[in-house]
Amino acid sequence: MIRVGVSGAAGRMGSTVCDAVEAAEGMELAAKADPALDTELSAILGEVDVVVDFSTPETALDNATACLRAGVHVVLGTTGFDLDALRAVADASEANCFVAPNFAIGAVLLMQVSQTIARHMPECEIVELHHDRKLDAPSGTAKRTVELIAAAGGNVHEPVHSVRLPGLVAHQEVIFGDEGQTLSVRHDSIDRVSFMPGVVLAVRRVAELPDRFTVGLEKLL
């Protein structure tokens, strides 16, 4: 049984993760941490094997650092902060850190398809659309998509277009343009359950990963 702690457990993603962990086989929801629940992350680290963090851009680095220094594996979904500092902490620790800017399989496939298209139609723009309480822009998914398209030889025009409106969850469109034609690829997360199979898979796999620091759900597929 993997003992799972959820950091940011009172939030939109954290509460959905709590339900997913409780429903998954081979793991148990051992503890929840969130200032909104009056429970500090440091208070639960002795009770868990893996922490899943969906907190805030301001708190995720400190949270993940505390876990790794305590020897607790981290599955990190929070976006909007610099991952390089976290990589250094993970490399010096005795635990593993798995980060995914997007845990939805459809978004991972969108990024992979975009790389394929970019080899033939390099010029493109990204429109990402999220609910109006999202704190960071552009989204972590958009930043990752820019990196992957660039690595495939594509050219994402600046800036990424960020739309924030009530009613949205998490959506992204990549539009490729060439002489006399365009090609658009779009992914829509219309419910936060779309992220849960990826989160549960990461919880199962994080302890056995070959590297201390791993980015991208595609590495687990």
Ligand X SMILES: NC(=O)c1ccc[n+]([C@@H]2O[C@H](COP(=O)([O-])OP(=O)(O)OC[C@H]3O[C@@H](n4cnc5c(N)ncnc54)[C@H](O)[C@@H]3O)[C@@H](O)[C@H]2O)c1
| Residues noted as catalytic | 130, 134
* Interaction between residue 51 and ligand X (CB under 6 A): no
Q: How far apart are alpha carbons 10 and 32 in whole angstroms?
A: 8
Three-class SS of residue 93? Answer: coil
Cα separation values, 11 from 38, 119, 132, Å: 13, 39, 15
Shortest Cβ 115–ligand X spacing (Å): 19
Query: ∠ CA(154), CA(120), CA(113), 5° rounding?
Result: 75
Of the candidates 20, 30, 31, 33, which one interacts with ligand X according to CB under 6 A?
A: 33
Chosen residue from 55, 96, 145, 214 binding ligand X by CB under 6 A: 55
**186 to 205, contacts with ligand X by CB under 6 A?**
195
Number of helices and strands in the chain (H, E): 6, 11
Q: 128 has which bridge partners?
A: 162, 172
Q: Per the structure block, which two tokens stand in for 8?
A: 């940011």
11 near ligand X, rule: CB under 6 A = yes
The binder of ligand X chosen from 20, 24, 32, 54 (CB under 6 A):
54
Site string for ligand X, 79-118 (x = CB under 6 A): xx-------------------xxxx---------------
Which of 6, 13, 72, 75 touches ligand X (CB under 6 A)?
13
Residue nearest to ligand X (CB): 11
Q: By CB under 6 A, is residue 216 in contact with ligand X? A: no
Q: Are strands 123-130 and 170-178 parallel, antiparallel or unpaired?
A: antiparallel
Among candidates 96, 42, 41, which has minimal Cα distance to 71? 96
Site residues, ligand X (CB under 6 A) = 7-8, 10-14, 33-36, 41, 54-57, 59, 63, 77-80, 100-103, 134, 136, 170, 195
